[in-house]
Amino acid sequence: MEVSYSFVIPVFNRPNEIRELLQSMQELDFDGPFEVVIVEDGSIISSEEVVQDFSRSLNISYFKKSNSGPGDSRNFGMRKAAGNYFLVLDSDVLLPPQYLAEVDKELRKRFVNCFGGPDAAHESFSDLQKAINYAMTSFLTTGGIRGGKKRVSDFQPRSFNMGLSKEAFLESGGFGRIHPGEDPDLALRLQKKGFSTRLFPEAFVYHKRRIDWKKFHQQVKKFGMVRPILNKWHPESAKIIYWFPTLFSLGLIAALIFAIFGWYLPLWLFGGYFLLLFLHSLFLNRSIKIAALSIVAALVQFLGYGFGYCKATCYLRILNMDPEERFPKLFFKHAQ
């Protein structure tokens, strides 16, 4: 089968991000054609004029719809797309020139109906963005690529950088209404249907994550709350390691209490871990400021995810509550 590519990108009130992404697409080093589908998800601040600026240099389509969430907007875009392989991106990414060539090389080497790629921090990113990127991707934190770089059968791509064949989309029905968490849910449903998923390690994107500390905490807390829902829907995916951020957070609180009463050893152990984070980030980023911010980012990540996971688990497992009734803000009501 000859593969034809369609980029599918939902956008909500972020025309400047779309401009930067489309500019990076103009620099793609790829011989074949590709299509770009932009889906405006009920935005108040439109990206239409930005898209028009690129209409001559890119094969681009633009659609507007009422707000129904990123997952449903991706489904909408894939239904409109002309290609038979969809490359799903978030609006806050930039593509390196070799991105599409790397995807094409991997698919020609060993075709797969769903893939995911890693993310990285561009040199132009702010210190905060680089620190958050470190926390979200480092093997020393809860970040990194789920399933590991060499594992295939249980790899769960993320929708900021994800590929999906038209066949897999039609068979699965695409993304569900939950958000966040719609991407691992889709990957798990695909695996149950016999579709393989894997990582394309060289098909990375630069993920900007334009968020402050408060938004970052809200984001990782939602990630933690979503995972018990996915565990309930897909029991085979539940892992004991998902409790690690909760145990880490409780352990840190306990260490602080012990220190008040004069027992400092547990706090010293945590201090050693944070020193390791600092040195690792310093080695990667060559910046004392980014290394210090990386410790803060890791703390926010552990605390937000850990207590979000614990909260949702208690409501769903102990009290046996319905996920959508207890956490309605994690579900979009009006799918197209």
Q: What is the pLDDT of residue 224?
A: 96
pLDDT tens-digit series, residues 58-98 = 999 999 999 999 999 999 999 999 999 999 999 999 999 99
pLDDT tens-digit series, residues 10-21 = 999 999 999 999
Q: What is the pLDDT of residue 209?
A: 82
* pLDDT(145) > 50: no
Confidence band for 147, pLDDT divided at 50, 70 and 90: very low
Mean pLDDT estimate for the chain: 93
Name 326's Cβ contacts closer than 8 Å, sequence gap at least 6.
315, 316
Full DSSP string of 126-152: -HHHHHHHHHHH-TTSS-S-TT-TT--
Taking domain 5-117+157-210, whether its CATH number is 3.40.140.10 is answered by no
C-beta of residue 229 within 8 angstroms of C-beta of residue 328: no
Burial 36-75 (b: 16+ CB within 10 A, else e): bbbbbbebeeebeebbeebeeebebbbeebeebbbbbbbb
- Check residues 204 and 335 and name the one with the higher pLDDT: 204
* pLDDT(146) > 50: no
Q: What is the pLDDT of residue 154?
A: 63
Confidence band for 143, pLDDT divided at 50, 70 and 90: low
The closest alpha carbon to 200, from 142, 77, 113, belongs to 113
Per domain, the residue ranges of the chain are 5-117+157-210, 231-330
**92-115: average pLDDT:** 96
**196-221: average pLDDT:** 92
* pLDDT(315) > 50: yes
